[in-house]
A and B are shown apart, each in its own frame.
Chain A
Amino acid sequence: MLLEFLKMPAWLVTLGGLAAAAGTVVGVFLGGFALLSLIERKTLARVQNRIGPNRAGPFGIFQPVADGIKMLTKEDIVPAKAEWLLHLLAPILIVVPSILALGVIPYGREWTPVPLELGLLLFFAVGSVTEVAIFMAGWSSGSKFPMLGAMRAISQLVSYEIPLVASALAVVMISGTLSLPEIVAQQGGWTFGFLPQWNIFSPWGLVGGIVFFIAAIAEANRTPFDLPEGESEIVAGHMTEYSGFKYALFFMGEYLGLFAVSGLFITLFLGGWQAPLPFLEFIPSWIWFFGKLAVLIFFFLWIRATYPRVRIDQLMRFAWLFLIPTSLLVTVAAGLWHVTGRGIVSWVVCLPVVAIPWVIAAVIFNRRLAPATRTYHFAE
Chain B
Amino acid sequence: MIVPLLLSILMILAASAAVWMAKPVHAGLSLALTLSIAAVIYLVLGADFIGLVQLMVYVGAVAVLIVFSLLITRRRDEEEERSLRPKALVMGFGCVLPLLAVLAYAVTGGIDIKPDRWEPALPLQELGKALFTDYAPAVLAIGVLLTAVMIGAALFARETRKETK
Contact = CB atoms under 8 A, between A and B. Distances in A.
Contact of A128 (B25, B56, B68): B56
Given A118-B49, A154-B64, A128 B124 contact: no
Dominant SS at the A interface?
helix
A122 B52 CA distance: 6
B63 interface: yes
B52 A129 contact: no
B38 interface: no
Contacts of A124: 56
A129 B40 CA distance: 13
B21 to A, nearest CB: 12
A121 B52 CA distance: 7
A211 interface: no
Contacts of A118: 48-49, 52, 124
B60 interface: yes
A132 B52 contact: no
A125 interface: yes
Interface residues of A, number: 24
B32 to A, nearest CB: 5
B53 interface: yes
Contacts of B29: 86, 132, 136
A128 B61 CA distance: 8
Given A86-B29, A118-B48, A132 B59 contact: yes
A261 B39 CA distance: 23
Interface in A125-175: 125-129, 131-132, 135-136, 139, 151, 154, 158, 161
A225 to B, nearest CB: 18
Contacts of A176: 125
Interface string B43-61: 0000011001101100111
A154 B60 CA distance: 10
B48 A128 contact: no
A178 interface: yes
B67 interface: yes
Nearest to A124: B56
Given A86-B29, A117-B48, A132-B64, A125 B125 contact: no
A176 B129 CA distance: 12
Nearest to A177: B124
Interface string B118-153: 000000110000000000000000000000000000
A125 B71 CA distance: 24
Given A118-B124, A132-B32, A125 B64 contact: no
B25 A139 contact: yes
Contact of B64 (A127, A135, A178): A135
Nearest to B123: A117
A132 B59 CA distance: 8
B67 A125 contact: no
A131 B52 contact: no
Contact of B53 (A125, A127, A158, A161): A125
B26 to A, nearest CB: 9
Contacts of A129: 36, 55, 59-60
A151 B68 CA distance: 9
Given A118-B124, A139-B25, A158-B64, A125 B52 contact: yes
B63 A132 contact: yes
B53 A121 contact: yes
Nearest to B39: A125
A151 to B, nearest CB: 8
Contacts of A136: 29
Nearest to A176: B125
Contact of A125 (B32, B60, B63): B60
Contacts of B56: 121, 124-125, 128
B7 to A, nearest CB: 17
A278 to B, nearest CB: 32
Contacts of B68: 154
Interface in A10-45: none
A379 B52 CA distance: 54
Given A118-B124, A135-B67, A139-B25, A128 B49 contact: no
16 contacts: A117-B124, A121-B53, A121-B56, A125-B56, A125-B60, A128-B59, A128-B60, A129-B36, A129-B55, A131-B60, A131-B64, A132-B29, A132-B59, A132-B67, A154-B67, A178-B124
Given A117-B48, A125-B53, A129-B36, 13 more contacts: A118-B48, A118-B124, A121-B52, A122-B52, A125-B60, A131-B60, A131-B63, A132-B59, A139-B25, A154-B64, A158-B61, A176-B125, A177-B124
Which 10 residue pairs of A and B lie closest in terms of their CB atoms, listed nearest first? Answer: A128-B60, A125-B56, A125-B55, A125-B52, A121-B52, A131-B64, A128-B56, A132-B63, A118-B48, A132-B32
Interface of B: 25, 29, 32, 36, 39, 48-49, 52-53, 55-56, 59-61, 63-64, 67-68, 71, 124-125
